[in-house]
Structure 1
């Protein structure tokens, strides 16, 4: 390859600096694509620009969701909030119009409640029967549906009335997601376009988040209606009204408290704490895997591997009651549900009987918890995707040495410090994301955990891969057991691709040896470790098997090693070994007794004997070099 002249190098340097200046000035992607520069530098700049634009859109969506949450906490007219949600749906997803329909239980269909961007009077007065059209299918199945070309999509039941309204509005692409309130279907939120366009998974999820806020606004409407009903009955039963008014005040206080938690960026523990502050007693939130996410108050502690609370019949009922509060023996439980997915279970032990307003408070806590868990999941997914991409570059050796070293530092690992690579396999492939999050939680700071080539992979600081692998396998006590192979210690990024291959082979060896669900480093597998390792340390293996005998001979000038060689060569016969060594058989017996004291009484067990014989042969090979 012809070397570049200094002029060419200077020109390329100026081009790269120009690219960096465009990035720093937040230049548009088309400017980056057209800028003269080396192809690799331009590709990296385009990737950075695209990633920055994706983060900007996500931040805009999160900011809009928080704005809606603020409106929910301050706006007295829930219909105004619904209008804001529909307007935000149109803006965030970037469609020509958005609209919301509500379910009419008496007519058995849905009717248009709020539109934004609509110009057709016929469309604005449209009613959808259950099962008809895309909206009717969402209403009947309670699942989101979307299409890039509704008129040509044969998945949906087309009717003359619906097709006329959609055609009059000029709609082509539609995405709809259901509104669920207290396990009941109440309506559908739509985003639509007048030209063909696909809907990404993130856009469908965002529309679902907005639908959850719309459902929360409807819950607010119901709470307000309850309050109005209570005050209307004042003339009939003053004491009853007083109790109801007190309940409404508690509900309003609960709403304000939960809204404050969301707006201040609180987590699920803050929601649980707010619930206990409002009701007293105790509360426990279990996640979808049955682990305790938060515990407040004097709740029954977990005992052993099985949490006693999870064994209560009321908790099992809550999992099948689709978000409805159930009670038994003074313990209340409700499923934490979002888009028909069971994200967890909230269990409450109140100091007394829960009145209706208090029951609504628990239900509202479950809804807010679901929203917070959804936000956390989105953030976790984004972080895990970044970790997976980083690990893929490190384990495949992509990029220069300096770039990969920088990747490690960005993950909080110092490349010059010893580190170990752990490769873990186990469970259903669809559970890899959840397992990676569990492993990341167990290893904590100072580790990089992700998925690669069907395995959960972790880079963690340390010098003992066997201890780290065994410890990780032992700490996974729920869900599928992990088989973990450890490699290291490593002090350079260049060794990571080979370390991953060695770790994967070590996992395979553990499974083949019947040690599924355990962890080990290749060097701890005996002769099996010599097979799976890419660079086996034969000397280390010999020392690990024969070390006590070798040291005894060195310190005392004896020859127990020679006696072992003769003993095994004689078919484990002391008499024949004595003839070969030209000593009395009692001398051989005394030497073998000393071997037992050094190696343990089980040294003649077939497995140990095989290891010892192999180590003796390896030692002879080392001495012959």
Structure 2
């Protein structure tokens, strides 16, 4: 079969042409593995495009809601967009009535029941009443039979009249003000995924801000300058995201609008972005992540101010998912419009981070699958090479295999993402057998390990064991195993936080490793001599052994070998040429003697047969 007509190449061409999964599934593949991998890649691409489309739709929603002024028009736009984004049969929104102490149906999309469209929910009753009383999202795949909720005849009758089965509700909350509940529902027992719940929550956050802003339109009009500034900020954030901007653009825009410095902290306290002279320190020693303003916003869930440091902070979060915090300084007193600007920046930042995280996790799953298959030796080599090229990796280039291990204080996900960022172009980073693995293009595994450990040191004590180099089309599994033994040796030898290869550790790595590679160790140190003896029929290895046994005396070695002392000297010069002039240094000599002894033992020689050292 022509290589261009192979199933793998056919699938690759279809992937490059954007063929749907149904067309990929129709390709004849005797083993089925290439087709399965192509379908997985197609699914990853589709998931990424779907996430990008959802982000674009949310930003468009933010812009549309900001442009509307009619309260009823806003509510209708919210439920219509919720139904479209989640693809449900029905969406609806209830508003909180402070006077009655309950919520009432205010807007629906897809509803056909008059009874349902006029129902009221007391706090605590039904799914919506529980959301309203706790301000937390709830969902059920079969509401009428779900005993977690307090059922009432009125609510169950309305739900049954509408024919709803699965329901998801999330609160509309701005700061500590409860606005209402946004729902998505289906007329079939279809469960809601965490991604759908988070998406509905993000839309609810936008909807809540828009509803509150509309309710206070009269007050906003009395502060025209502030309104214009806040609206301009909102539009600017929306335009930035629509233009493909990221968190750096958001922090810069917020700093420009308020005239101070801005820093965005991640969920682990790490600095994700800054603008201006932000006092960012190493998270391990405190810094902004330990500032009172950040502690207050995490505790209160709203914009907080620390007058002593003149810092403001607001949490950046999706429903039940803290993503970090925006910290500001040098802005003085913030009026209502400025505070709204900060809140809008936090909402938009949360959307960007949420979808960046989702996209990054999808991409990382693809990389992890590739790394795991490479180091375990699974899969067809041609398919693995094609997948590597898809990730921007040259499978024919020589790569160092690096294994990173960190303190318990460093989360595995943080280490994985940091290693991906630090590995550099042409590398691929993933996980296998619970370990973070990096395949880095390099001809020097030791140097690659030291450099990666240095770049990851900001996280804490990160050890990096290295082996190789090896091409990705070569025999990667034994090289991976050697890298694992090396990183284990670093910890056992009290060298945590460093990077090293097995060759650099020498006999220490051989002794500590869980599965010592004796043949590899011997070949590493004696390989040039063994190869020379094999080609020339010489006795350099024997001469070296005898020289060491003779206490480093060429004359005594000559006697044992029954040759002239000049012959021994010539052989020692040849050994220096092959091993380098430092082979008689005590450390190197110790490694060579251990390699010689291991070679003799592995060949079946008894220690008792070795000749005594002569003095």
- TM-score normalized by the length of structure 1: 0.78
In 2, Cα distance between the equivalents of 1:122 and 1:397? Answer: 62
Matched, 1:76 2:56: no
Pairing of 1:123-134 with structure 2 (within 5 A): 123-134=116-127
Alpha-carbon distance, 1:599 to partner? 9.7
Find the aligned partners of 2:492 and 2:505 in 1 and give their Cα distance: 12
User: SS where residue 224 of structure 2 aligns?
Assistant: helix
- The 1:224–1:451 alpha-carbon spacing in structure 2 relative to 1, beyond 3 Å, is farther
Q: Where do residues 131-210 of structure 1 align in structure 2 (5 Å cutoff)?
A: 131-210=124-203
Name the SS for the 2:443 alignment partner.
coil
Unmatched tracts of structure 1, length 5 or more: 1-8, 231-243, 545-558, 569-579, 581-597
Question: What's 2:377 paired with?
Answer: 397
1:585 corresponds to: none
2:264 aligned partner: 285
1:119 paired residue among 112, 115, 131: 112
Q: 2:296 — aligned with what?
A: 317
* Counterpart pick for 2:520 among 529, 536, 549: 536
**Contact 1:287–1:343 (Cα < 8 Å) also in 2:** yes
Equivalent residue number for residue 485 of structure 1: 465
SS where residue 537 of structure 1 aligns? helix
**Measured at CA, do residues 219 and 284 of structure 1 come closer, stay the same or move farther in structure 2, by a change above 3 Å?**
farther
Counterpart CA distance in 2 for 1:78 and 1:367 is 21
User: For residues 378 and 223 of structure 1, do their structure 2 counterparts lie closer, same or farther at Cα, with a shift above 3 Å needed?
Assistant: farther
Q: Which runs of 5+ in 2 are unaligned?
A: 529-542, 553-559, 561-581, 606-615
Instruction: Identify if the C-alpha distance between structure 1 residues 380 and 488 changes in structure 2 by more than 3 Å, giving closer, same or farther.
Output: same
Alpha carbons of 1:599 and 1:412: their partners in 2 closer, same or farther (altered >3 Å)?
same
Deviation at 1:399, TM superposition (A): 2.7
Choose 361-370 or 523-532, whichever is displaced more: 523-532
Describe the SS at the equivalent of 1:353: coil
Change in CA separation of 1:427 and 1:161 when aligned onto 2, cut-off 3 Å = farther
Cα deviation per residue 1:208-233 (whole Å; 9 max; x = unaligned)?
232233233225325634314x2xxx
- Distance (Å, rounded) in 1 between the aligned partners of 2:103 and 2:448: 58
- Measure the CA separation in 2 of the matches of 1:413 and 1:20: 16
User: Quick one: distance in 2 between partners of 1:107 and 1:600?
Assistant: 92
Between the aligned partners of 1:32 and 1:619, the Cα distance in structure 2 is: 54
Q: Give the whole-Å Cα distance in 1 for the aligned partners of 2:10 and 2:412.
A: 42
Coordinate RMSD, CA, aligned: 3.9
Higher relative contact order (CA 8 A, sep 6+): 2
Kindly state the Cα deviation for residue 254 of structure 1 after the two structures are TM-superposed.
2.0
2:45 is equivalent to residue 65 of structure 1: no
Residues in 2 aligned to 1:297 and 1:429: alpha-carbon distance in whole angstroms: 30
Contact 2:506 2:591 in 1 (8 A): yes
Q: Report if aligned partners of 1:432, 1:451 keep a CA contact under 8 Å in 2.
A: no
Correspondence 1:261 to 2:218: no
Identify the range of structure 1 (173-182 vs 23-32) with the bigger mean alpha-carbon deviation: 23-32
Change in 2 beyond 3 A, CA 1:460/1:30: closer
Contact 1:321/1:335 (CA < 8 Å) preserved in 2? no
Q: Note if 1:275 corresponds to 2:259.
A: no
Aligned-residue offset at 1:192: 0.9
What residue number does 1:549 align with? none
8 Å Cα contact 1:96-1:194 kept in structure 2: yes
CA distance 1:27–1:361, change in 2 (3 Å):
closer
| 1:476 match: secondary structure | helix
State whether residues 127 and 169 of structure 2, in contact with CA within 8 Å, keep that contact through their aligned partners in structure 1: yes
State the alpha-carbon separation in 2 of the partners of residues 471 and 538 from structure 1: 27
Q: 1:21, 1:486 → 2: CA distance?
A: 36
Partner-residue secondary structure (3-state), 2:190: coil
> Is residue 428 of structure 2 the alignment partner of residue 475 of structure 1?
no
Deviations 1:100-145 (A, max 9, x none): 2223344333222221111122212222233322222333333332
Contact in 1 for aligned 2:399/2:472 (Cα 8 Å): no
Residue 91 of structure 2: aligned partner = 98
TM-score scaled by length of structure 2: 0.79
Q: Aligned in 2, Cα 1:359/1:383: closer, same or farther, shift over 3 Å?
A: same
Q: Return the offset for 1:490.
A: 0.9
Candidates 285, 289, 292, aligned match of 1:306: 285
Correspondence for 1:452? 432
62 and 354 in structure 1: CA distance in 2 versus 1, 3 angstrom threshold: closer
Q: 1:393 to 1:185 in 2, by over 3 A?
A: farther
Contact 1:433–1:451 (8 Å) recurs in 2: no
1:385 aligns with 2:365: yes
Per-residue deviation, 1:261: 1.8
Partner of 1:239: none
Shift of 1:566: 6.4
Query: Once the 2 structures are TM-superposed, how far is the Cα of residue 60 of structure 1 from its aligned partner?
Result: 4.0
| Structure 1 counterpart SS, 2:379 | coil
Report if the CA contact (8 A) 2:293-2:312 is conserved: yes
Q: Determine if contact 1:405/1:493 at 8 Å carries over to the other structure.
A: yes
Per-residue displacement from partner, 1:70-113 (whole Å, max 9, x unpaired)? 31343333543432232232233232211122233443332222
Higher alpha-carbon deviation: 50-59 or 259-268: 50-59
Q: Name the residue aligned to 1:522.
A: 502
Please state how far the C-alpha of 1:462 moved relative to its aligned partner.
Answer: 1.0
Distance in 2 between residues matched to 1:295 and 1:258, nearest whole Å: 16
Is 1:362 aligned to 2:345, yes or no? Answer: no
The answer for the alignment partner of 2:613 in structure 1 is none
**Corresponding residue of 1:328:** 307
Identify which range, 487-496 or 526-535, moves more after superposition: 526-535
Give the conservation status (yes or no) of the 8 Å contact 1:325–1:363: no
Q: Tell me, in whole angstroms, the C-alpha distance in 2 between the residues paired with 1:468 and 1:339.
A: 41
